């Protein structure tokens, strides 16, 4: 697999993170509150500290939990202090509809690597890029998969987002909410710098480049194995 886009693992289970790291496929990690909930994490800070200790030289993103500017700023400073490769995820918008541009700008100007998350529109991309310090840089995470879930083609948005992000040298565009292996190809084609991939999709990357006929043969082999294991038969009259 010869691609320029960097692959980050998306999840919150340390064992899964270690497993994909051992395969040499990923160069960083991201997580979020929903993934934390699914993984059964009960002590966020303890998990974050352990994750940073496990992957001290790789980019790893942790999200603030607060929903007010003051709280987000305070939490971000704690998270940023966990390690030099930590990126602090700050949603571009709060649940009340107000944006977090001021929070992002203050953190970025203070030298914090910010991963601006939950982005779904070009206006939000512009807001994020404008708020990020050109010298410090940062990550702009566009939720392409969630845009596609609404029945809208995310590719035009990602191409335009790449153009905006790359007006600042150290700002990277991240394809978020990956749904299938082909999204990795699409991220590459649209100029994304990073794509976050969940473990179940990472497991499929081994099939990358497999000839279509072989996929067909493998599919039938799977059917045959399942039929044999279930003992299914269809009675026929000779």
pLDDT digits 0-9 by tens, 189-236: 999 999 999 988 988 888 888 999 999 999 999 999 999 999 888 889
Would the pLDDT of 1 be above 70?
no
Would the pLDDT of 2 be above 80?
no
Between 193 and 17, the higher pLDDT residue? 193
Residues 17-33 have a mean pLDDT of 89
φ, ψ for residue 92, nearest 5 deg: -65, -20
Per-residue model confidence (pLDDT) at position 145:
97
pLDDT digits 0-9 by tens, 80-114: 999 999 999 999 999 999 999 999 999 999 999 99
Give this prediction's pTM.
0.92
- Residue spans of beta strands (DSSP E) within the chain: 6-10, 28-30, 59-63, 86-91, 114-119, 138-142, 171-175, 194-197
C-beta separation of 123 from 93 below 8 A: no
Per-residue model confidence (pLDDT) at position 199:
86
Per-residue model confidence (pLDDT) at position 33:
84
Q: From residue 113, give the alpha-carbon distance in Å to each of 62, 80, 136.
A: 11, 8, 7
Report residue 32 as tokens.
Answer: 């979020």
Distance, in Å, from the CA atom of 162 to the CA atom of 159, rounded to the nearest integer, reads 5
Would the pLDDT of 136 be above 90?
yes
Residues 43-47 have a mean pLDDT of 91
Own/partner pairs, 216-223, CB within 8 angstroms, 24+ separation: none
Q: Hey, how many other C-beta atoms are within 10 angstroms of the C-beta on 146?
A: 16
Would the pLDDT of 158 be above 90?
yes
Q: State the DSSP H helix or E strand holding residue 39, giving kind and residue range, or none if neither.
A: helix 33-39
Average pLDDT taken over every residue of the chain: 94
Q: For the chain, give the percent of residues with pLDDT over 70.
A: 100
């Amino acid at each position: 697999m010869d691609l320029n886009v960097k692959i980050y693992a998306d999840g919150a289970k340390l064992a899964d993170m270690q497993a994909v790291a051992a395969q040499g496929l990923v160069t960083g990690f991201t997580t979020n509150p929903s993934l934390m909930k699914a993984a059964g994490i009960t002590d966020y800070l303890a998990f974050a500290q352990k994750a940073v200790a496990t992957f001290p030289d790789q980019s790893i993103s942790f999200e603030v939990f607060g929903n007010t500017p003051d709280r987000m700023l305070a939490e971000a400073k704690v998270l940023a202090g966990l390690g030099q490769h930590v990126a602090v995820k700050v949603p571009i918008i709060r649940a009340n509809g107000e944006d977090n541009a001021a929070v992002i700008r203050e953190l970025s100007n203070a030298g914090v690597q910010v991963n601006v998350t939950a982005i779904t529109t070009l206006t939000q991309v512009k807001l994020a890029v404008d708020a990020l310090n050109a010298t410090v840089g940062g990550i702009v995470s566009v939720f392409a998969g969630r845009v596609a879930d609404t029945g809208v083609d995310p590719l035009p948005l990602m191409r335009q987002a790449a153009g905006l992000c790359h007006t600042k040298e150290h700002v990277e565009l991240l394809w978020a909410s990956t749904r299938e292996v082909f999204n990795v190809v699409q991220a590459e084609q649209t100029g994304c710098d990073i794509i976050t991939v969940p473990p179940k999709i990472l497991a499929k990357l081994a099939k990358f480049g497999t000839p279509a006929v072989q996929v067909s043969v493998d599919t039938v082999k799977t059917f045959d194995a399942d039929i044999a294991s279930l003992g299914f038969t269809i009675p026929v009259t000779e």
